[in-house]
């Protein structure tokens, strides 16, 4: 971190600042100019609050040169992290994972049938929401515990690990017991209490990007989970809010190379919520693979026109199969498999 003081700052104030940083275990290099002084702080500055330093009336500028995150930072963890989801590795240089399933669990028969189709098409995990974050309080809110138990049954029948969204900490025990990959939805990406709570879980976390969050804010949310004790975090890009109206959100595929550079954690893409339209799911899936994503999470439904949520963006099982087949070819071109 680099701090420069205002013109005419008394030496005693500079000494006070230097001593306070040193007492935090940081080394301070001081460059004294004719008009102002520059301090370079060396060491772990993740705990420093720039705004608090800026509150000092003698401080002119504060500039971070290192990232505010440590555990999620590639700098301190050169190897790709591989997160195991009930034995299935996510991340690394080889295999990609494909997660498929409905937006919402609609009953035992529905989810078991879809689980079979997802598996036959080549999918590796089953998704299904039982607690749904809906914009309208009058919209279907999910089957709750019953939905989770239906997912458990679908796992028993097909062997596919199950992925579901946790919306509040009061359901943590249920998820710890039943769910293999715990999804934190876009709307909860900065629910810091929830992030700390899932940081104490033993299950891996699928952390979706917030509706309007920067990549750095997103990585800081992963840092929350990791600093509470859970190193198993997978990023999921699901599109962000922009001015564009032809898609539900704008898929930001640049996050793939950026996250790969900044962090060691795996990243997967959700082309369903990103586009909001099944017509665009295949092309965006293939693009995501080409961009280097570690996997896909796709909404799949047998009868999208009567789905209880997100039918317009759900693909039928045959298209899901096509995406996997074409995706495998693209994956092989870039030296991976699916
Ligand atoms: C979902 O996965 O069904 C969902 C609600 O996703 P998001 O949080 O990305 O909107
Ligand atoms: Mn959905």
Q: What is the pLDDT of residue 324?
A: 98
Task: Give residues with Cβ within 8 angstroms of 240, minimum separation 6.
Answer: 209, 211, 212, 213, 249, 250, 252
73 part of a folded domain? no
Question: 189 and 249, same structural domain?
Answer: yes
Question: 259 and 169, same structural domain?
Answer: yes
Three-class secondary structure of residue 242 per DSSP: coil
Question: 132 and 47, same structural domain?
Answer: no
Q: What is the pLDDT of residue 34?
A: 87
Question: 107 and 18, same structural domain?
Answer: no
Q: What is the pLDDT of residue 35?
A: 87
Question: 237 and 313, same structural domain?
Answer: yes
* Ligand 1 neighbourhood includes 102 CB (under 6 angstroms): no
* Ligand 1 neighbourhood includes 103 CB (under 6 angstroms): yes
* Ligand 1 neighbourhood includes 119 CB (under 6 angstroms): no
- Regions in the chain scoring below 50 on pLDDT: none
Question: 51 and 91, same structural domain?
Answer: no
Distance 168 CA to ligand 2 centre (A): 17
How far is 170 from 291, CA to CA, in rounded Å?
Answer: 37
Question: 157 and 59, same structural domain?
Answer: no
Which atom of ligand 1 is the closest one to the Cα of 103? 3
Its pTM stands at 0.95
77 part of a folded domain? no
Question: 99 and 8, same structural domain?
Answer: no
Of 12, 36, 64, which marks where a domain is finished?
A: 64
Residues 162 and 154 sit within 8 Å (Cβ to Cβ):
yes
Question: 109 and 44, same structural domain?
Answer: no
CATH assignment at residue 96: 3.20.20.70
Question: 181 and 239, same structural domain?
Answer: yes
70 part of a folded domain? no
Distance 38 CA to ligand 1 centre (A): 46
Structural domain containing residue 118: 83-333
Question: 98 and 54, same structural domain?
Answer: no
76 part of a folded domain? no
74 part of a folded domain? no
* Ligand 1 neighbourhood includes 248 CB (under 6 angstroms): no
How far is 2 from 50, CA to CA, in rounded Å?
Answer: 10
How far is 220 from 71, CA to CA, in rounded Å?
Answer: 10
* Ligand 1 neighbourhood includes 185 CB (under 6 angstroms): yes
How far is 281 from 323, CA to CA, in rounded Å?
Answer: 9
How far is 89 from 204, CA to CA, in rounded Å?
Answer: 11
Q: What is the pLDDT of residue 247?
A: 98
Q: Tell me the DSSP string of 170-205.
A: GGHHHHHHH-SEEEE-GGGTT-HHHHHHHTT-SS-E
Question: 187 and 98, same structural domain?
Answer: yes
Residue among 304, 301, 328, 236 nearest 273 (CA): 236
How far is 127 from 115, CA to CA, in rounded Å?
Answer: 9
Please, what is the average pLDDT of the chain?
97
Give the chain's end-to-end CA distance (angstroms, integer): 42
> Model confidence over 9-24: pLDDT tens digits?
999 999 999 999 999 9
Distance 186 CA to ligand 1 centre (A): 6
* Ligand 1 neighbourhood includes 238 CB (under 6 angstroms): yes
* Ligand 1 neighbourhood includes 142 CB (under 6 angstroms): no
Three-class secondary structure of residue 147 per DSSP: helix
Provide the number of structural domains found in the chain: 2
Three-class secondary structure of residue 107 per DSSP: coil
338 part of a folded domain? no
Distance 184 CA to ligand 1 centre (A): 8
Read off the DSSP letter of residue 89: E
Distance 258 CA to ligand 2 centre (A): 25
Task: For residue 314, give both structure tokens.
Answer: 């759900």
Which atom of ligand 1 is the closest one to the Cα of 185? 8
């Amino acid at each position: 971190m680099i701090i420069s003081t205002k013109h005419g700052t008394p030496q005693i104030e500079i000494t006070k600042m230097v001593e306070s940083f040193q007492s935090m275990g940081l080394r301070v290099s001081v460059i004294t100019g004719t008009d102002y002084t520059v301090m370079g702080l060396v060491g772990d500055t993740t705990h420093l609050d720039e705004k608090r330093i800026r509150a000092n009336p003698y401080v002119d500028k504060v500039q971070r040169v290192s990232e505010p995150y440590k555990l999620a930072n590639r700098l301190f963890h050169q190897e790709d992290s591989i997160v195991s989801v009930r034995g299935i590795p996510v991340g690394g240089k080889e295999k990609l994972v494909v997660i498929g399933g409905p937006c919402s669990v609609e009953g035992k028969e529905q989810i078991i049938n879809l689980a079979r189709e997802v598996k036959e098409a080549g999918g590796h995990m089953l998704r299904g929401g039982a607690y749904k974050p809906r914009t309208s309080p009058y919209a279907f809110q999910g089957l709750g515990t019953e939905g989770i138990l239906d997912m458990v049954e679908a796992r028993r029948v097909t062997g596919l690990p199950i992925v579901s969204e946790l919306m509040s900490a009061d359901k943590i025990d249920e998820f710890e017991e039943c769910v293999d990959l715990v999804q934190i939805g876009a709307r909860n990406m900065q629910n810091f209490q929830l992030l700390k709570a899932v940081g104490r879980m033993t299950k891996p976390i699928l952390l979706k990007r917030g509706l309007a969050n920067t990549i750095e804010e997103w990585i800081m949310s992963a840092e929350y989970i990791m600093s509470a004790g859970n190193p198993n975090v997978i990023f999921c890009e699901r599109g962000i809010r922009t001015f564009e109206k032809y898609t539900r959100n704008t898929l930001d595929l640049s996050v793939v190379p950026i996250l790969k550079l900044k962090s060691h954690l795996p990243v997967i893409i959700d082309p369903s919520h990103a586009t909001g339209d099944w017509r665009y799911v295949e092309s965006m899936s293939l693009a995501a693979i080409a961009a280097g994503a570690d996997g896909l999470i796709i909404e799949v439904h047998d009868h999208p026109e009567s789905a209880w949520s997100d039918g317009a963006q759900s693909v039928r099982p045959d298209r899901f199969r096509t995406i996997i087949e074409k995706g495998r070819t693209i994956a092989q071109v870039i030296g991976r498999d699916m």
